[in-house]
Amino acid sequence: MSSFETLRLTGTPRERGVAHGEAFADEIEANVETYLTRFEHEGVDPETARAQAEEFVPLVESENEAYAEEMRGIAAGSGVSLTDVALLNVRYEVIYTAWKESTEDRASGDAGERRDRRDAAESLTDGCTSFGLLPSATADGRTYVGQNWDWLAPIEETIFLMEVRRDDGPDHLVFTEAGIVGGKAGVNEHGIGIGVNGLTSPDDGEEPLRKPYHVRFREVMDAERLDEAIAPVVETNRACSGNVLLGAAGGEVIDLEVAPETFAHVHPEDGVLTHANHFESDRIESLSEQRGPSTLYRGERLRRHLEAERGEVTVDRIQSGLRDHFGEPASVCSHVDESLPPEEYGQTNASFVIDLDRRRIHAVRGPPCEGEYETYELGA
């Protein structure tokens, strides 16, 4: 199962949402059940998760009405409630918020209980190893970004490529999960590209009702220039931490490490940038490596692989780096660790190499070692 299904969405936000909901109704329902089950495994009951999701609906409406209208369309098209559609679209924020509030009554504030709260949140952050390459590093002189997307297993049957053709913003081609309006890895018609990684820091979830990450990711795809793409990530405070790697056709890449009320940035060194799931900046306390130590070597493994052919890096070379199995199953190409309970199984569910100059994505669904990358082009 290496090929991606591509859904082309056109028309108004509601029309796009309805088409999305109708095409992936079963997958959306499955996604909701997957997340509710995983949240419950971490101590967040479905009622609490849904109550938190409902609080975000008016916030999304006030922050980005078009995004909210597309969510309403997904609900109408799929027959899934708007609350459950919202749950998917704010899943980053809900887990931090819901877990915090569900434990407030019994929290005494001691270090052990604070650590327990962090552990629960950390076990629900996306994995991922991402990269960016400037033209000086590549054989064809083009700019690339991309990543392996590591998350729950099995979940690859509920992900797809969404091509959005619209009059109210730039066309774009992005990877997303069924039921989620905002994409993750992808590129728009102006050559703006994005990749995302999960991060955690101590203040995550303290101020939950802030613009959700998936709304910000859609706004990145609204950008015509790199500064416009950076703005929605950093201009307002966030509910929790994350990493957003951005690139622009013509030769620029920047990585944004964002915590709730601060952020740092990382630039390529000699044309190469890689990132995993911990803060590289010493300005922000990083917690992810306590639960996922592989983050401390995955980014470095990929960086050294790419640097070995600096100036001559090809798409094939990038793909071979994304298939790296050092430390398996906790490798760049991640696989299920069967020593864990099934509720905690994770793996690389998708891999992307994005050519920003050609607005083209080379992608494989599932672990990249198990399939061949296929090419998907915006507007083709």
Same domain assignment for residues 297 and 258:
yes
Buried b (16+ CB within 10 A) or exposed e, 259-279: bbebbeebebeebbbbbbbbb
Same domain assignment for residues 193 and 260:
yes
**Overall pTM surpassing 0.85 (yes/no):** yes
Same domain assignment for residues 111 and 141:
no
State whether residue 70 is helix, strand or coil. Answer: helix
Residue 256 pairs in a beta bridge with: 244, 265
- Find out whether the peptide bond into 13 is cis, omega within 30 degrees of 0: no
- Asked if residues 58 and 82 have their Cβ atoms less than 8 Å apart, the reply is no
Instruction: Give a yes or no: residue 355 inside a domain.
Output: yes
Same domain assignment for residues 74 and 145:
no
Same domain assignment for residues 344 and 208:
yes
* Ranges of the chain with pLDDT below 50: 102-124
CB contact set of 76 (below 8 Å; sequence gap of 6+): 14, 17, 18, 21
Same domain assignment for residues 90 and 168:
no
CB contact set of 130 (below 8 Å; sequence gap of 6+): 145, 146, 147, 148, 195, 196, 197, 243, 245, 255, 274, 275, 276
The pLDDT of residue 180 is 98
* Domain end marker among 121, 143, 178: 121
Instruction: Give a yes or no: residue 110 inside a domain.
Output: yes
Single-letter amino acid, residue 151: W
Buried b (16+ CB within 10 A) or exposed e, 331-350: bbbbbeeeeeeeebbbbbbb
Supply 307's token pair. Answer: 């640097």
- Determine what percent of the chain falls in helix, strand and coil, rounding each to the nearest 5: 40, 20, 40
Instruction: Give a yes or no: residue 71 inside a domain.
Output: yes
State whether residue 156 is helix, strand or coil. Answer: helix
- Asked if residues 56 and 86 have their Cβ atoms less than 8 Å apart, the reply is yes
Element containing residue 344 per DSSP (H, E): none
Strand order in the sheet with 360-365: 272-275, 129-133, 144-152, 346-355, 360-365, 374-377
Same domain assignment for residues 57 and 88:
yes
Same domain assignment for residues 93 and 139:
no
**CATH number where 170 lies:** 3.60.60.10
The pLDDT of residue 1 is 59
Instruction: Give a yes or no: residue 179 inside a domain.
Output: yes
Same domain assignment for residues 248 and 351:
yes
Domain range for 239 = 125-377
Domains of the chain: total:
2
Burial of 247 (0-12, 13-18, 19+ CB in 10 A): buried
Same domain assignment for residues 276 and 357:
yes
Same domain assignment for residues 114 and 135:
no
The pLDDT of residue 120 is 44
The pLDDT of residue 126 is 58
* Domain end marker among 68, 100, 121: 121
Instruction: Give a yes or no: residue 142 inside a domain.
Output: yes
* Domain end marker among 87, 121, 155: 121
Burial of 1 (0-12, 13-18, 19+ CB in 10 A): exposed
CA distance 122 to 290: 9
CA distance 281 to 292: 18
Same domain assignment for residues 110 and 152:
no
Burial of 231 (0-12, 13-18, 19+ CB in 10 A): middle
Single-letter amino acid, residue 97: T
- Asked if residues 204 and 170 have their Cβ atoms less than 8 Å apart, the reply is no
The pLDDT of residue 24 is 98
Instruction: Give a yes or no: residue 307 inside a domain.
Output: yes
Q: Residue with structure tokens 């002189």?
A: 141
Q: Residue with structure tokens 């990877």?
A: 175
Instruction: Give a yes or no: residue 1 inside a domain.
Output: no
